[in-house]
Amino acid sequence: MLSAPALGLEATLASGLLQGTMLTPMKYLQKWRWENTWLIFATSAYLVLPWVFGLVTVPHLFEVYSSTSTAALLHTGLFGVGWGCAAVLFGLGVELIGLALGYAIILGLGTSVGSLVPFITLHPEKLWAAAGRGTIAGVVMLLVSVILLSIAGKKREIALRRLAGGTSTVNPQSRVSKRTFAKGFVICILCGVLNPLINFALAYGAEIQSQATRYGAVPTSAANAIWVVVGTAGFIPNLIYCAYLLNTKSTWRVFALASPSYWVLAPAMGFMWLSGTVLYGVGANSLGPLGPVIGWPLLMCSMVFAATFWGFFAGEWKGVRGSPIRIMAVGLSALVAATFVLGLSSRL
């Protein structure tokens, strides 16, 4: 039987691998447009599966909500809507600049905002203490990694266009004609800024988790009651934006072009997302005080490296050699180092 720390590490690693892999099937659903795939993914990940997990793992789920204050439910839901906007931007950003760069840039920026803003707003007096200095150093390292990754991405775009000999595409996976790095980078920045709203949603959802525990949910499952609220609220902007694109582009009919495998792969993306989320909850609870030092950096790193692996496997960097690869490797190394610096700073 695994010890609690060992279970926590394995659950956290599995969570990162699942969440770093979850968007890979989009590369192979070529008959659908982005809005077709994203609507099925979002319906699965943010609406259907959270309710399934919640109803199965949280006893008396509806009583949990009726016993929670209206203010807690409302704040959790509102921040969930904001996070849902970040989820839309995440999907668009990864589509535009690829799995490898999209994950790294979004996580780097999101972690920077999520680490520094609480210090500035909640503990300004500690900003120049050891923990504050460590946090600032980690954020600076993250921003350096994002700059390096953006340079690598721009160089990759130039290299792919050169390989194409001036034509619009290199291969079906690179999609150079549909991808403008500048546009994708701006979207990733916006996503990175909005993504930490999930932390506020979870903070306001603490009362929901407490009520779930009171009604008999085990500690590792009680947080699933929060995800029902956050996921349902976050689904709203995803539904609105996808429906807008489906109507304006007349791509509802594209659903009919799919083979049965499409209806398996797209929901599987949602299953990987929610399973990874639930597993990280198990990992964080099992690691206890070690979570910020080991668990959180392991989650970030495993997500980034899984996405990088699948990005290369899918041909996003096919034919690219030399400086773009080297700069990206340095940027990823800086991101890993920064993540561990932030994890250690949280214990100072």
- Token pair, residue 217, equals 């949910």
How confident is the model at residue 122, as a pLDDT? 62
**Residues with Cβ < 8 Å from 72, sequence gap 6 or more?**
204, 205, 206, 207, 208
**Residues with Cβ < 8 Å from 229, sequence gap 6 or more?**
65, 73, 76, 77, 80, 201, 205, 208
How confident is the model at residue 170, as a pLDDT? 44
Backbone dihedral region for residue 33 (phi beyond 0: left; psi -120 to 50: alpha; all else: beta): beta
Burial of 36 (0-12, 13-18, 19+ CB in 10 A): buried
- Residue 257: DSSP 8-state: G
How confident is the model at residue 289, as a pLDDT? 66
Task: Give dist(CA 197, CA 95) in Å, integer.
Answer: 22
- Token pair, residue 85, equals 């906007």
Task: Give dist(CA 154, CA 331) in Å, integer.
Answer: 13
- Token pair, residue 228, equals 């029902």
Determine how many CB atoms are found less than 10 A away from the CB of residue 164: 16
CA 29 to chain centre: 20
Determine how many CB atoms are found less than 10 A away from the CB of residue 65: 17
If the chain, 348 residues long, is cut into consecutive pieces of 10 residues, what is the mean pLDDT of each piece?
Answer: 72 90 91 96 96 94 96 95 95 88 83 70 72 81 85 83 61 48 85 84 89 90 92 97 96 92 94 88 72 70 88 84 89 85 72
Task: Give dist(CA 308, CA 152) in Å, integer.
Answer: 13
Reference 194, options 117, 297, 268, 135; nearest CA is 117
Reference 228, options 27, 51, 17; nearest CA is 51
Alpha helices (runs of H) in 98-223, residue ranges in sequence order: 99-122, 130-163, 181-194, 197-204, 206-214, 219-222
- Whats the size of the chain, residue-wise? 348
Backbone angles phi, psi at 317, to 5 degrees: -115, 20
Determine how many CB atoms are found less than 10 A away from the CB of residue 234: 30
Cβ(106)–Cβ(145) below 8 Å: no
How confident is the model at residue 348, as a pLDDT? 64
Reference 261, options 14, 13, 31; nearest CA is 31
How confident is the model at residue 172, as a pLDDT? 44
- Cα dihedral angle (339, 196, 119, 75), rounded to 10 degrees? -150
How confident is the model at residue 220, as a pLDDT? 76
Reference 140, options 166, 163, 119, 112; nearest CA is 112
**Residues with Cβ < 8 Å from 6, sequence gap 6 or more?**
none
